[in-house]
Structure 1
Amino acid sequence: MSVPPGIIGPVDVLTERPREKRRRRITSVEVLCVVLLAAILGQSWLQDVLDVPGLRTGSTIFVAVCVQALPFLVLGVLISGAIAAFVPARVLRRALPRRTAAAVGVAGLAGVALPGCECASVPVARRLMGQGVAPAAALTFLLAAPAVNPVVLVATAVAFPGRPEMVLARFLGSLATAVVMGLLWARWGKLDWIVARALERLPDAGGGRWKAFAEIARTDLVEAGGFLVLGAFISATLNVLVPQSWFAVLGGQLVLGVAVLAVLAVVLALCSEADAFVAASLTALPLLPKLVFLVVGPAIDVKLFALQAGTFGRSFAVRFAPVTFVVAVCCALVVGTLLVGGAR
């Protein structure tokens, strides 16, 4: 078949249309390879440029936070991916009592046995609602799963060696936050605030569960790993650029320290498997503001607000998120005052 005049390039024999040239897309893996190659080739030059005490200190803190937190992060996303792919939501629904108040308590404790990251808990909560679980219980599980599971508690114990009270305080503060929010929703929450699609019954996943597991784990690891790197970078920057006298003043002003770290937990949006190492790196601050940071972060942050708005609707998120923030701060302060006080 001849090529019509004015058309450049090969022609598809079936459609008689010119074939479009496939554009080669540059992926993030190729960019990473180029950066690593450039770093290897220019290693001696980089050593001369970066031979600054402040940069050495910052890089040491950055690497330490990432290396300590990464194993727990990987374990957490593997467990959450396995739960999302292999454990049907109806199992949880059948295990919950019919009474809403009792269901809220059981859903909170279920977070101990069924760990998951913040990102995974939102679609799981939606799936529970779609299978008939009371929204109060589903939201309780949403808040409890990423905060009171064994992976997070072990990571907290490693980040705060010799401080078992911090592990207990985080567990109690986070569990209290989840249960209180569940009870508040049961009393004053309205289904009208949740978009209709979030309450629709969702079909159980069919075949390809291993593929779903791999995809969920990969997605969670990439996203959570990005937040971990960001948090480690900010932690290193704070330790190097911010004068220690500022942290000393912040440590002396307990109320200001609590307020700053509560807001910082929302802005940093760290994964719950990694936030303890970032909090522990702020050595000039007492334990109470750090506890507030650890309780608030898994309950509400900027990425969780976006996920909740996209899943349950903006009307839900603008009501649920601010109340969660206040409840988390209050629960952390009450538990922290009783268990850690003003210790450092």
Structure 2
Amino acid sequence: MTSEAERRAPEGPHPGAVGVAAPGVREQKPAPRGPERRIGSVEVLAGLLILLVVFRDPFARALSAPRLQTWTTVFVSVMVQAVPFLVFGVLLSAVIAVFVPRSFWARALPRRPALAVPVASAAGVVLPGCECGAVPIAGSLIRRGVTPAAALAFLLAAPAINPIVLTATAVAFPDDPAMVLGRAVASLLVAMAMGWLWLRLGRADWIRLPRRPELADGSRGRAFWGAVRHDVTHAGGFLVIGAAAAATINVVVPERWLQTLADEPVLSVLALAALAVLLSLCSEADAFVAASLSQFSLTSRLVFLVVGPMVDLKLISMQAGVFGRRFALRFAPATFAVAVAVAAATGAVLL
């Protein structure tokens, strides 16, 4: 039998039950969990510095090796020459992308698509930026009503014939001024050819309209710095990879292999065209990498300079993300074939 007190006791969990506070004991709430701590760039840098301090003697011995010193010399020389052009080009590209009204391009181009293609190609001169900035701007042109053929011609021409890139090419090839003319002529011809080819064979449903959030910011100042950060992150990272690859090629690949490949006109053209696609260099820096490949002919290096700003791994990825995979899978191979043929022919005539 139960007592009167037991019968009057409220129903509920027993005070000794797990998770139930005993009478007179203040229940402690679990401490709130803070945000998960992730390893960032600062932690990685600190770890690298610690490793350098701990293993400073092995690192010092490794850095004194002649081959590594050669690698470092080539890498640093490419970076020192290219970085000023990259930074200047990114800043000017952001100014144009943010402060020049996008509708300006639609008003400036002829209404007839066949005439708009060469005008848009030549308009690439006013965009002192790299191909990373040209992709979203070409998408903006399409959104503003510019015919896709003209926007794509602008996309291909702008990274290769703007003043920053041509000046960088002249600095990289001081003894070969014809390289500047050859690059401008071949790039312009490829851009116009691809624009007219799109008019003939292209379909509107292959293109998905783009969106670039940092350029849509209400504040022009924030949009400007967002565009600068975007382009520096993309172009600068690929520049470092390209400079390292160029230095590695000069050190690791035996000289006789490069010379054998360079002595074959057709193979040298195809090899440097493929190398341009793989290295994915910024157009404001690729001339310095091409100049370092002195084993190859000027025509082969011209192909490298024409193909790179139009077809490379980062561009194919960006075009697939901005315009759609159906577009990239058709546009990139066609551009590669036209660029190789036109650049080789231009080099044979001018160089």
TM-score (ref. length: structure 1):
0.89
Give the partner amino acid of 1:304: L
| 1:204-243 mapped onto 2 (5 Å cutoff) | 205=216, 207-243=218-254
**1:258-285 C-alpha deviation (Å, 9 max, x unpaired):** 0011111111111101111111111111
1:82 Cα deviation after fit: 1.5
> Is 2:77 the counterpart of 1:64?
yes
**1:1-45 C-alpha deviation (Å, 9 max, x unpaired):** xxx9389x985xxxxx86222222222144224424643675554
| 1:59-138 mapped onto 2 (5 Å cutoff) | 59-138=72-151
* Aligned residue among 265, 276, 287 for 1:265: 276
| Separation in structure 1 between the aligned mates of residue 62 and residue 163 of structure 2, nearest angstrom | 43
* Aligned residue among 166, 175, 179 for 2:192: 179
**1:91-135 C-alpha deviation (Å, 9 max, x unpaired):** 111100111121111111111012221111111111111111000
> Is 2:180 the counterpart of 1:162?
no
1:152 Cα deviation after fit: 0.5
| Separation in structure 2 between the aligned mates of residue 108 and residue 308 of structure 1, nearest angstrom | 18
1:52 Cα deviation after fit: 0.9
Name 2:312's counterpart in structure 1.
Answer: 301
Name 2:345's counterpart in structure 1.
Answer: 334
- Unaligned stretches of 5+ in structure 2? 1-17, 22-26
**1:163-189 C-alpha deviation (Å, 9 max, x unpaired):** 110011001111111111011111221
CA, structure 1 residues 18+34, in 2 after alignment: closer, same or farther (shift >3 Å)? Answer: closer
Q: Which moved more, 1:216-225 or 1:287-296?
A: 216-225
Partner SS for 1:271: coil
Partner SS for 2:160: coil
Partner SS for 1:26: coil
| Separation in structure 2 between the aligned mates of residue 155 and residue 31 of structure 1, nearest angstrom | 34
Give the partner amino acid of 2:297: P
CA, structure 1 residues 128+249, in 2 after alignment: closer, same or farther (shift >3 Å)? Answer: same
CA, structure 1 residues 31+323, in 2 after alignment: closer, same or farther (shift >3 Å)? Answer: same
Partner SS for 2:183: helix
| Separation in structure 2 between the aligned mates of residue 232 and residue 163 of structure 1, nearest angstrom | 22
Partner SS for 1:146: helix
1:50 Cα deviation after fit: 2.4
Contact 1:269 1:301 in 2 (8 A): yes
Name 2:45's counterpart in structure 1.
Answer: 32
| Separation in structure 1 between the aligned mates of residue 51 and residue 248 of structure 2, nearest angstrom | 24
> Is 2:16 the counterpart of 1:5?
no
Contact 1:10 1:19 in 2 (8 A): no
1:315 Cα deviation after fit: 1.1
Larger radius of gyration: 2
Percent identity of the aligned residues?
54
1:49 Cα deviation after fit: 2.7
| Separation in structure 2 between the aligned mates of residue 10 and residue 274 of structure 1, nearest angstrom | 61
Contact 2:132 2:231 in 1 (8 A): yes
Give the partner amino acid of 1:113: V
Aligned positions, number: 327
Contact 2:216 2:223 in 1 (8 A): no
Name 1:244's counterpart in structure 2.
Answer: 255
| Separation in structure 2 between the aligned mates of residue 230 and residue 6 of structure 1, nearest angstrom | 60
Where in structure 1 do 4 or more consecutive aligned residues deviate above 6 Å? none
CA, structure 1 residues 163+286, in 2 after alignment: closer, same or farther (shift >3 Å)? Answer: same
